[in-house]
Every structure is written in C-alpha cells, then in structure tokens.
C-alpha cells in the first residue's frame, strides 16, 4: 500500500491506496517525491504513472480530513496536490498516464499535467469538487476538454468517458482493461527508443510554450477551497458526503 517506484529506462510510479485510491495528504507528497526521483535519474527516459485497484484515483481522502480537527490535513493535502501536479508537469522526461476505472478530482490534476494518456475502455474522468465543497483541478481539466464542457463538468460534477476524450484528441489511445499496461508501455518504449537528450529538450520546449502557467492557476483555485472551508461550506459538503447524501 502506498506509492511505489519501479526504476528503469521506462520507470513506473504506481499509486496503491485501497480500496479506491483516495490519496491521503502524505500520499500526494510521495507521488511528487517519486515522480521527481524518476525524472531526475539520468537512466530514466520515460515515466509511466499508473494505479492498482478499482480505479486510477478517487482524489483526496475526505475521510482523513473529517477525522482531523482544524485545517492541518486540508493544508497538507493542498500542498501535496500542488507538489504532485507540479512534479508531473516539471518531470524532465515525458510522463504517460495509464488510467483505468475512475479518475476523479486530484486524479484529473495528475493526468491533466501528463504528456500523454493511455486509458482503459472503462475509464471515466470527472471533478466532483463542487459536491465536496471544494474547488480545484479545473486548470487540468481544461487541458482535456473544451472550455464550455469544462464549465459544465465543474458545475454539474458529471464525468466523461475515455472515448469522449479520445474524440477530443486528449487521450492518446483507448484499449481493453487487460491491455492497458502493455499499451502504455508500448508507447513509453517508442519514446524511450529516441535520443534522450533530444526528448528532454523537447519536454522543456513544450512546457516553455504552454499558454497557461498551470502551477499558478491551480494555486489560485486552491485559495477558494480554503475560503469555502473558512465560511463552513467545505465542512458541510464533506459531512454530507460522509453521511451518504
């Protein structure tokens, strides 16, 4: 259980927090640390970001927040998410997200900053933040869907499928669940076979011409999440979630 790094020319960072990969505050920092370690290893040419279990990621661990008095866990989760998303974006080599099942909240933050997404045919992507009394990762969702759909998804909390994103061109490939790992690794190996100096330069170039500063944009969103907690709306929504309403 936790976050694991498998090293190699194609390195793999695996998220594993049973049963639904609701990542605790410390887990987000672990993702950041291991993605950073993989990317900073000169032997690494590509990183695959994957998960075990029922889905790729259910976002932050709301139960952990509700068990804790005060705002310490919320702040740690905010900092951890920002660090994890930034680590994916800033990784010196390309990151391929291999997504199965649900990809929610912070999961969208991770895959939205990845370079490529390979998804299983059961994968869905969504931001339930409004229903949880929070805001965030619209920055990253905006990299996956058109602007008006992004707004509709934020307001309604409805997800979209991997097939939808494939039609938009933001999911590279959709495959049966049983073939996900092999498909992601095949794409990774095709990139790993290229000159690593050129690939690392290409990653810098593509980040350098990005029209949106994703780190600044996400931190702006997070400020409103904390505001919602100060005025009580965040805690109220989390209590409703815990009560199954």
pLDDT at 98: 98
Own/partner pairs for 231-240, CB < 8 Å, 24+ apart?
233/133, 234/74, 234/132, 234/133, 234/134, 235/133, 236/133, 237/131, 237/132, 237/133, 237/134, 238/62, 238/65, 238/66, 238/132, 238/133, 239/66
Concatenating the DSSP letter of every residue in 83-94 gives HHHHHHHH-SS-
Instruction: Specify the pLDDT at position 245.
Output: 58
May I ask the CATH class of domain 2-178+196-242? alpha beta
9-23 pLDDT, tens per residue? 999 999 999 999 999
Q: What is the pLDDT of residue 229?
A: 86
Q: What is the pLDDT at residue 158?
A: 97
Domain boundaries, the chain: 2-178+196-242
DSSP 32-73: HHHHHHHHHSTT--EEEEEE-SSSSB-EE-HHHHHHSSTTHH
pLDDT recorded at residue 238: 84
Q: What contacts 133, CB < 8 A, 6 or more positions away?
A: 228, 229, 233, 234, 235, 236, 237, 238
Nearest to residue 229, comparing CAs of 153, 129, 105, 80?
Answer: 129
pTM of the model: 0.95
pLDDT in tens, the chain (245 residues): 999 999 999 999 999 999 999 999 999 999 999 999 999 999 999 999 999 999 999 999 988 988 877 788 989 999 999 999 999 999 999 999 999 999 999 999 999 999 999 999 999 999 999 999 999 999 999 999 999 999 999 999 999 999 999 999 999 999 999 999 999 999 999 999 999 999 999 999 999 999 999 999 999 999 998 899 889 888 888 888 878 75
Alpha-helical runs (H) found in the chain: 25-40, 62-67, 72-90, 106-112, 138-141, 147-156, 162-168, 180-192, 196-208, 214-230, 233-242
């Amino acid at each position: 259980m936790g976050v694991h790094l498998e090293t190699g020319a194609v390195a793999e960072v695996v998220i594993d927090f049973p049963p639904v990969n609701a990542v605790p505050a410390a887990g987000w920092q672990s993702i950041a640390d291991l993605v950073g370690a993989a990317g900073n290893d000169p032997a690494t040419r590509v990183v695959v970001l994957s998960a075990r279990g029922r889905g790729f990621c259910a976002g932050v661990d709301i139960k952990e927040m509700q068990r804790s008095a005060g705002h310490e866990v919320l702040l740690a989760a905010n900092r951890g998410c920002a660090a994890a998303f930034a680590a994916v974006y800033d990784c010196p080599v390309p990151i391929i997200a291999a997504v199965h099942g649900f990809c929610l909240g912070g999961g969208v933050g991770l895959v939205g900053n990845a370079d490529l997404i390979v998804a299983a045919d059961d994968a869905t992507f969504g931001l339930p933040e409004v229903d949880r009394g929070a805001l965030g990762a619209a920055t990253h969702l905006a990299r996956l869907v058109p602007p008006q759909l992004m707004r509709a998804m934020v307001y309604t909390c409805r997800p979209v499928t991997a097939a939808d994103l494939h039609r938009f061109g933001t999911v590279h490939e959709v495959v049966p669940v049983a073939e996900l790992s092999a498909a992601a690794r095949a794409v990774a190996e095709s990139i790993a076979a290229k000159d690593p100096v050129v690939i690392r330069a290409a990653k810098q170039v593509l980040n350098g011409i990005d029209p949106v500063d994703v780190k600044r944009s996400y931190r702006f969103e997070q400020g409103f999440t904390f505001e919602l907690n100060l005025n009580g709306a965040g805690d109220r929504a989390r209590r409703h979630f815990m009560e199954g309403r």
